[in-house]
Amino acid sequence: MESMKKFLATHPNIAKIFQETWFESELQKSHEAMHLLAIQLTFDDSIREKSMSNHLFDHLEENLSLLRKEIQSKGTVSKNLKDAREYTNTIGQIEIAAVFKKIGFSIELEPRIPGSKKKSDIKIESGEFTAYVEVRTLHDREGNLVFKSNSMEISTINNHPKPTIKRKIKEKTVQLSENFPGIIAINLDNIPRTIHIESAFYESSMEYPIISGMLLYHHFYNNEGCHMFIDFFANPFAKIPVPAIIERLFETGGITISTWQTDTIAFMVEKNNQGSSM
C-alpha cells in the first residue's frame, strides 16, 4: 500500500510502534472493532476530515518523538497504545507528560512511588521538586440532536453527573503519594464546558487532601486550527501544596493558574465544620 508506506516514512516515531502490518490488520476489521488510530487513517471524505486526521497524526508524532526515551523505557506504554481499549487513556497520559516536558520538567512514565507498592501515571521533577500525576480521560457524552444539515450538527450538551466525576477523582487518589504533591490531570475529550468538573473538584478537595491540585487539559482542532487550554486549580486544603515557584513555572508553559473564589472556600469550610459537629 503506497500511501501507507509514505505515511509511515513521514511519521517514523509512529512507525516504530504501529508497523505497516499492524495497520493493514486493523483496517480489515469492522469500524466498531477498529483501533482509533486506524480509523483516523480512513478520514478522507472531506478536506476538513483530512486536515483533522493530519493534525492528529502530526501531534502524536511530535509527542512520541519528545517522549521517545521515556516510552522506550516502559514497554507497557507502547503495548497500551496498540490496545484499542487503552489507546485514548494512554494518549491522554502522553499528552499530559508532553506538556510538562515542554515546560522543562524531567519525566518518568508509570513510576513506582517510593516506600509503597503504588505506581502512578507520571512523575515530574524540577530541581528538588517532585510530584506524581494521575491522568484520567473524560469523553464527551452524546446529547439530543437539535439541528442537522449537510455541513452542521447541533446537539444539546449532556454533562457527566457530578457524582460520577467525584467518583473518578476518588479512584485516582488511590495511586497518589502521601509524601509528595499529587496532581489529578483530566484530559477532556471533546468537552468544551468544565464548570461541572470544577464544581466536583471543589467538593472533593477537602475530602482528599492528598490531591495538591487538578489540571484540566483540553486540546482540539477546528477550522481555525489547533487549540490548547490548560488550567491548574490548586487545592487550598492540600496536605502538600504545589509551591508558588512551581505554579509560576507552570505559567511559562501556557498553563493558566485558576484561583478559587473566596466565597467558594468559605462555603466549603462551613460545610466541613457542619459535618464535624454532627
Structural domains in the chain, CATH included, are 1-66 (no CATH), 84-277 (3.40.1350.120)
Query: Cα–Cα distance between 182 and 89 in angstroms, integer?
Result: 19
Cβ–Cβ under 8 Å, residues 194 and 218: yes
Count of CA atoms in the C-beta half-sphere (13 A) of 253: 19
pLDDT at 187 over 70: yes
Cβ–Cβ under 8 Å, residues 188 and 218: yes
The mean-pLDDT minimum among 55-69, 111-125, 159-173 falls in: 159-173
Over residues 225-235, the pLDDT tens digits come to: 788 899 999 99
pTM (2 d.p.): 0.84
Do the strands 225-234 and 213-222 form a parallel or antiparallel pair, or are they unpaired? antiparallel
Alpha helices of the chain — where are they, by DSSP H?
2-10, 12-17, 20-26, 36-41, 47-66, 68-72, 75-81, 87-103, 162-173, 195-205, 244-252, 262-277
